[in-house]
């Protein structure tokens, strides 16, 4: 079915996002643009909504070549290419401008090069957005407010250490149990992007959201490297061009959606503490022990990212 | 390709290849024939499907059940239950269905419910003179209330896929869950009457009831700890399964003193074996499901359904039929993930509420848990109850009809599911 | 010699799986205690328990096959005349052997290609985690060959059926 003759190329894509998530919206537009630009030579078969498995599994499938392409959150990518985990250091970026200057510049190129060594061709770095703190206890304005709060996290030492440094009690809980754990108060809150917070209905069981931007969740657009190299050069070129172009489009989509999702949350009775009403300096200061412990893991990368102006 | 998949699977089934291997090998043949997916997907997909924390509730509840069975808990519990309802026809069957519904309010999965209650009740029912396949069938079927009565892992997944409120879904599942439980009790009553099941003929004195209550108190107290622990936010449903294990160990070793190291080794080994049988199947079923997805089998069926220009009643009946059909071959979670985005637009197009449809879907897939060849509750039941698969299938059959009536009620009486509004 | 070796291997694997299950209980119970009593959580207990569960699944499958624990549909084969039964059993056994061989070959490939991938919490090479798959494939094949040999000799194979 996939090699439909006439030199038509079918690329199989998997991701975990539901249709109304910015990954899906961004990818659908990217696919349309590529199909058009190649005169219909390239077609996409998209399996969204986690139909082919979770993110670690999907990255593995792209690496092993059973899937051609995915757009996936940077977190699990760090298990395949450790350098990528530097993006998960807490409060690493000053703002989104800092993020884009870093990822669209030399450092972004370097990270994408690391991915090639592991058998991936990175076509661009998209996004899931800033991760904020949510809970059902009280508004969080400074690390003081987090004291003793049970925060859900994934099993990752940097995340866990970050919450400890902020005075919270990090509690690893598997994603399928998050909703009920919040509902039944096994944990009080979590960090999440607006997109995930909204598409997984977590707002039903959380009343407070603080726009601290604890991490930036990047989302590389990955392709199996051998598959990429097997394609005709003109097709390769279109993929690379459109991958970069639609990084900007997808970020735009994501940010517009975040605005709507925020309004929707407030309309449903949620309370939002915006960045200007937060003591961000106190947060940054509090996580210094995390940097002391893990900064060396990434060579001089942390300094170089901090130096991006 | 899809036809090849089913034909090979059926042939392997007929010649008595273990189902887990039949699922894997039919998928492998299709993969090899289409040559676009490397065979390294076989171990990759198996591993990934087993790599789930909520899944861990299954081995733990299986272990807890065996500890309680061999630790003297089930015996005392049954004596007590007997003194209360032993004189009613099919009394122990009712006890075990109610116990399943009770456990369903603790666990989010059907197999965990079957394993947890079945480990205690099946041996007890057999001892009381009930036929073993019948006792096991009652457990396998009643365990499906585990995904209807909240909490429910499949409901969470549906809510995410459909963009529907999970808490509303949970509320909406309560009445259908109780409906299924009650209808199963009615069926069990009728069957017990025709078979003459009744356990104790003598009346038990009030003092004896009290004595049995005290003796079985540690067993009766266990659901209190688990339910209380979850709803007070002490632990997650999966963690609760471990608490059940530790509680069963403590009671069996230190309170009733019926467990020694040798017995424990046997219990752990046989629990590991049962776990292995179930998880291996989950692993290979995931591979089979992946091939179905990539061959777009469910999608094509749904597209045909959407294009056929039918009345809403016909569409709902057909959707039910499709879900039942898919449920025979596919595991619940995979089916939800694949079918929700395709079927939801079809049914909302004829005015069905997404919450209502979620409950319809999960009730149908609950039936899928007890239909061969892919029926996890049957596998767990046959393991826990020690009944051959085919024998269990035959014993489950009468209950299937009742559950199909339940599905029709849930489908055509929306009031049952939308009470939470 | 052969019989003794198989029995020794199976006994060891049984003990190992029992131990893994016990370790899962300890790990997750510890996770609850740490959170409730010390208000502190480990970041790796869940992952360790999950991998132990998968390891015990693959390993226990080997003695499971010997004891006929794996679910199948025997009702049709049993209605065949004795002579055909043997043949059908041999074919079914062969299908199983192919499956085990695939587990060994592609399990090894998966393991080999995942040495650079690290597990999220323990930061342990996934290749080692996957190594259980080819190892178990070999153990399953050993047990099945043993059962097949007995079936051919006596017409009866497994310990249970
Ligand atoms: Na439940
Ligand atoms: Na089924």
The total number of structural domains that make up chain B: 1
Q: Is residue B20 part of a domain?
A: yes
**Smallest CA–CA separation between B235 and chain A, in Å?**
6
Is it true that the peptide bond before C110 is cis, omega within 30 degrees of 0?
no
Which chains share 3+ C-beta pairs under 8 angstroms with C? Answer: A, B
Q: Is residue B394 part of a domain?
A: yes
Contacts of B281 (CB under 8 A, 6+ apart): B19, B20, B23, B374, B376, B379, C71
- Least confident range from A212-221, A228-237, B306-315, B403-412: namely B306-315
Q: Is residue C161 part of a domain?
A: no
Residues B34 and B4: their CA atoms lie apart, in Å, by 11
Q: Is residue B87 part of a domain?
A: yes
Task: Report the residue count for chain A.
Answer: 309
CB nearest C43 (choices: A80, A155, A174): A155
Q: Is residue C79 part of a domain?
A: yes
Contacts of B191 (CB under 8 A, 6+ apart): B90, B134, B398
Task: Report the residue count for chain C.
Answer: 161
Which chain A residues are closer than 8 Å to B341 by Cβ? 18-19, 48-49
**Smallest CA–CA separation between B39 and chain A, in Å?**
9
Which chain C residues are closer than 8 Å to B243 by Cβ? 29, 32
* B150 CA to centre of ligand 1 in angstroms: 4
Q: Tell me the HSE value of C137 on the side-chain side, using a 13 A CA sphere.
A: 19
Which of residues A141 and B79 earns the better pLDDT score? A141
* B375 CA to centre of ligand 2 in angstroms: 4
Beta-bridge partners for A151: A170, A189
Residues B51 and B153: their CA atoms lie apart, in Å, by 15
Whether the predicted pLDDT of C70 surpasses 90: no
- pLDDT the model gives residue B337: 74
- DSSP string over B174-214: HHHHHHHHHHHHHHHHHHHHHHT-----SPPPHHHHHHHHH
Contacts of B284 (CB under 8 A, 6+ apart): B20, B21, B23, B24, B27, B46
Helix or strand holding residue A291 (H, E): helix A288-294
**Where do we find the tokens 């999960």?**
B362
**Smallest CA–CA separation between C137 and chain A, in Å?**
21
Q: Tell me the HSE value of B352 on the side-chain side, using a 13 A CA sphere.
A: 29
Domain that holds residue C103: 2-154
- pLDDT the model gives residue A5: 53
C161 in contact with A at a CB cutoff of 8 Å? no
Per DSSP, the three-state class of C32 is: helix
Q: Looking at B232-296, list the stretches that DSSP marks H as alpha helix, in order from N- to C-terminal side.
A: 237-250, 261-294
Q: CB–CB of A65/B41 below 8 Å?
A: no
Q: Is residue C100 part of a domain?
A: yes
Which of residues B362 and B34 earns the better pLDDT score? B362
- pLDDT the model gives residue A172: 83
B53 in contact with A at a CB cutoff of 8 Å? yes
Per DSSP, the three-state class of A105 is: coil
Torsion, CA B146, CA B152, CA B154, CA B155, rounded to 10: 130
Q: What is the pTM of this model?
A: 0.85
Contacts of A93 (CB under 8 A, 6+ apart): A99, A102, A213, A216, A305
Range 229-248 of B in CB contact (< 8 A) with C: 234-235, 238-239, 242-243, 245-246
Q: Is residue C145 part of a domain?
A: yes
- Least confident range from A262-276, B27-41, C17-31: namely B27-41
* Highest-scoring range by mean pLDDT, B79-93, B105-119, B303-317, B388-402: B388-402
The total number of structural domains that make up chain C: 1
Q: Which of B84, B89, B113 is nearest to B101 (CA)?
A: B113
Helix and strand tally (H, E) in chain A?
Answer: 13, 9
* Contact check, Cβ <8 Å, C61/B268: no
- Least confident range from B110-119, B336-345, C4-13: namely B336-345
What long-range pairs does C91-98 form, CB within 8 A, spacing at least 24? C91/B15, C92/B12, C92/B15, C92/B16, C92/B17, C93/C144, C93/C147, C93/C148, C93/C151, C95/B12, C95/B15, C95/B17, C95/B21, C95/B25, C96/B17, C96/B18, C96/B21, C96/C65, C96/C140, C96/C144, C97/C141, C97/C144, C97/C145, C98/B25
**Smallest CA–CA separation between B220 and chain C, in Å?**
21
Angle between helices B91-104 and B132-142 (to 10 degrees): 30
Q: Is residue B421 part of a domain?
A: no
Angle between helices B73-85 and B110-127 (to 10 degrees): 70
Domain that holds residue B125: 2-416
Residues B378 and B141: their CA atoms lie apart, in Å, by 8
- pLDDT the model gives residue B36: 79
- pLDDT the model gives residue B216: 80
Residues A270 and A276: their CA atoms lie apart, in Å, by 18
Q: Is residue C95 part of a domain?
A: yes
- pLDDT the model gives residue C24: 97
Q: Which of A34, A234, A220 is nearest to A116 (CA)?
A: A220
- pLDDT the model gives residue C160: 44
B228 in contact with C at a CB cutoff of 8 Å? no
Q: Is residue B224 part of a domain?
A: yes
Whether the predicted pLDDT of B291 surpasses 50: yes
* B109 CA to centre of ligand 1 in angstroms: 6
* Contact check, Cβ <8 Å, C22/B268: yes
Per DSSP, the three-state class of B167 is: helix
For C81-133, the pLDDT digits (tens) are: 988 888 898 899 999 999 999 999 999 999 999 999 999 888 899 999 999 99
CA atoms A218, A224, A225, A230: torsion sign: negative
Comparing alpha-carbon positions, the chain C residue that sits nearest to A76 is: C120
Mean pLDDT of C127-156: 88
| Inter-CA distances, C22 with A149, B64, C30, C53, Å | 31, 12, 12, 10
Q: Which of B52, B5, B4, B1 is nearest to B288 (CA)?
A: B5
* Contact check, Cβ <8 Å, B43/C25: no
Quick one: tokens of A204?
């039903």
**Smallest CA–CA separation between A49 and chain B, in Å?**
7
Whether the predicted pLDDT of B297 surpasses 60: yes
As residues whose CB is below 5 A from the ion ligand 1, the structure lists B 104, 146, 149, 152
Q: CB–CB of A150/A171 below 8 Å?
A: yes
Which chain B residues are closer than 8 Å to C59 by Cβ? 276
CB nearest A64 (choices: C39, C41, C113): C113
Mean pLDDT of B254-281: 90
* Contact check, Cβ <8 Å, C41/A170: yes
Task: Report the residue count for chain B.
Answer: 421
Residue B378 sits at φ, ψ, to 5 deg, of -65, -40
Which chain A residues are closer than 8 Å to C110 by Cβ? 64
Whether the predicted pLDDT of B300 surpasses 70: yes
Residues C153 and A274: their CA atoms lie apart, in Å, by 78
Q: Is residue B246 part of a domain?
A: yes
Mean pLDDT of C19-35: 94
- Collect the ranges in chain A with pLDDT lower than 50: 1-4
Which chains share 3+ C-beta pairs under 8 angstroms with A? Answer: B, C
Beta-bridge partners for A221: A71, A124
For B127-179, the pLDDT digits (tens) are: 888 899 999 999 999 999 989 988 787 887 788 778 777 777 888 999 999 99
Comparing alpha-carbon positions, the chain C residue that sits nearest to B379 is: C71
Which chain C residues are closer than 8 Å to A167 by Cβ? none
């Amino acid at each position: 079915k996939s090699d439909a003759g006439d030199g038509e190329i079918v690329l199989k894509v998997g991701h975990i996002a539901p249709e109304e998530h910015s990954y899906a919206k961004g990818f659908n537009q990217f696919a349309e643009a590529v199909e058009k630009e190649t005169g219909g030579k390239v077609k996409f078969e998209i399996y969204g909504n986690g139909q082919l498995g979770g993110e670690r599994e999907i990255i593995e499938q792209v690496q092993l070549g059973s899937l051609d392409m995915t757009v996936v959150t940077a977190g699990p990518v760090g298990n395949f290419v450790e350098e990528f985990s530097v993006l998960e250091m807490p409060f690493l970026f000053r703002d989104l401008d800092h993020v884009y200057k870093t990822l669209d510049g030399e450092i972004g190129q370097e990270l994408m090069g690391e991915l090639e060594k592991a058998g991936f061709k990175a076509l661009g770095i998209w996004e899931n957005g800033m991760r904020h703190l949510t809970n059902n206890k009280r508004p969080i304005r400074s690390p003081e407010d987090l004291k003793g709060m049970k925060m859900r996290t994934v099993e990752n030492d940097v995340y866990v250490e970050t919450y400890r440094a902020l005075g919270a009690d990090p509690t690893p809980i598997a994603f399928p149990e998050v909703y009920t754990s919040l509902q039944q108060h096994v944990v009080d809150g979590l960090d999440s992007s607006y997109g995930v917070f909204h598409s997984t209905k977590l707002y039903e069981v959380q009343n407070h959201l603080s726009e601290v931007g604890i991490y930036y969740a990047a989302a590389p657009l990955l392709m199996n490297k051998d598959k990429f190299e097997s394609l005709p050069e003109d097709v390769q070129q279109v993929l690379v061009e459109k991958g970069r172009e639609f990084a900007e489009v997808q970020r735009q989509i994501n940010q517009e959606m975040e605005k709507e999702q925020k309004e929707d949350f407030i309309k449903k009775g949620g309370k939002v503490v915006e960045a200007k009403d937060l003591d961000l300096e106190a947060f940054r200061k509090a996580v210094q022990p995390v940097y002391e412990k893990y900064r060396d893991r990434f060579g001089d990368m942390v300094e170089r990212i901090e130096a991006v102006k | 390709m899809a036809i090849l998949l089913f034909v090979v699977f059926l042939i392997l089934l007929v010649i008595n290849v273990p189902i887990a291997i039949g699922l894997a090998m039919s998928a492998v043949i299709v993969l090899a024939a289409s040559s676009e997916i490397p065979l390294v997907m076989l171990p990759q997909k198996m591993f990934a499907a087993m790599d789930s924390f909520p899944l861990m509730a299954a081995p733990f509840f299986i272990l807890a059940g065996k500890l309680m069975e061999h630790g003297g808990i089930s015996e005392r519990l049954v004596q007590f239950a007997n003194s209360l309802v032993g004189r009613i026809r099919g009394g122990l069957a009712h006890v075990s269905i109610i116990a399943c519904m009770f456990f369903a309010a603790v666990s989010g999965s059907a197999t965990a419910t079957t394993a947890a209650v079945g480990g205690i009740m099946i041996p007890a029912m057999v001892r009381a003179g009930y036929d073993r396949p019948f006792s096991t069938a009652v457990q396998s079927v009643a365990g499906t209330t585990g995904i209807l009565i909240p909490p429910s892992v499949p409901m969470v997944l549906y809510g995410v896929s459909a963009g529907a409120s999970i808490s509303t879904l949970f509320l909406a599942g309560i009445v259908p869950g109780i409906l299924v439980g009650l209808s199963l009790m009615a069926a069990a009553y009728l069957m017990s009457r025709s078979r003459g099941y009744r356990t104790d003929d003598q009346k038990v004195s009030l003092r004896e009831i009290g004595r049995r209550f005290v003796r079985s108190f540690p067993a009766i107290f266990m659901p209190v700890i688990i339910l209380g622990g979850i709803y007070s936010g002490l632990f997650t449903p999966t963690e609760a399964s471990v608490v059940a294990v530790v509680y069963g160990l403590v009671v069996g070793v230190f309170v009733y003193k019926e467990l020694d190291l040798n017995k424990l080794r046997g219990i752990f080994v046989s629990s590991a074996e049962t776990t292995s049988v179930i998880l291996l199947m989950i692993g290979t079923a995931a591979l089979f499901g992946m091939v179905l997805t990539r061959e777009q089998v469910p999608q094509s069926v749904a597209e045909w359904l959407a294009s056929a220009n039918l009345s809403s009643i016909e569409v709902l009946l057909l959707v039910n039929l499709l879900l039942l059909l898919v449920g025979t071959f596919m595991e619940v979670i995979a089916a939800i993930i694949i079918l929700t985005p395709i079927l939801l637009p079809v049914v909302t197009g004829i005015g069905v509420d997404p919450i209502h449809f979620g409950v319809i879907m999960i009730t149908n897939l609950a039936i899928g848990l007890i239909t061969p060849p892919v029926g996890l509750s049957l596998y767990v039941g046959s393991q826990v109850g020690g009944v051959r698969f085919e024998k269990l299938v035959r014993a489950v059959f009468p209950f299937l009809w009742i559950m199909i009536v339940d599905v029709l009620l849930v489908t055509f009486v929306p009031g049952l599911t939308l009470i939470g509004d | 010699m052969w019989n003794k070796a198989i029995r020794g291997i199976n006994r060891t694997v049984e003990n190992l799986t029992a131990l893994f299950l016990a370790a899962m209980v300890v790990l997750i119970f510890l996770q609850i205690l740490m959170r409730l009593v010390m208000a502190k959580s480990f970041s790796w207990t869940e992952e360790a328990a999950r991998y132990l569960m998968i390891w015990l699944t693959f390993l226990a499958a080997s003695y499971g096959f010997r004891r006929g624990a794996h679910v199948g549909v025997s009702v049709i084969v049993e209605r065949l005349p004795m002579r055909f039964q043997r043949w059908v059993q041999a074919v079914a056994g062969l299908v199983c052997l192919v499956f085990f061989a695939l587990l060994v070959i592609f399990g090894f490939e998966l393991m080999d290609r995942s040495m650079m991938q690290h597990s999220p919490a323990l930061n342990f090479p996934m290749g080692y985690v996957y190594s259980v798959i080819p190892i178990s494939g070999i153990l399953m094949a050993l047990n099945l060959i043993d059962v097949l040999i007995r079936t051919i000799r006596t017409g009866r194979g497994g310990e249970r059926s």
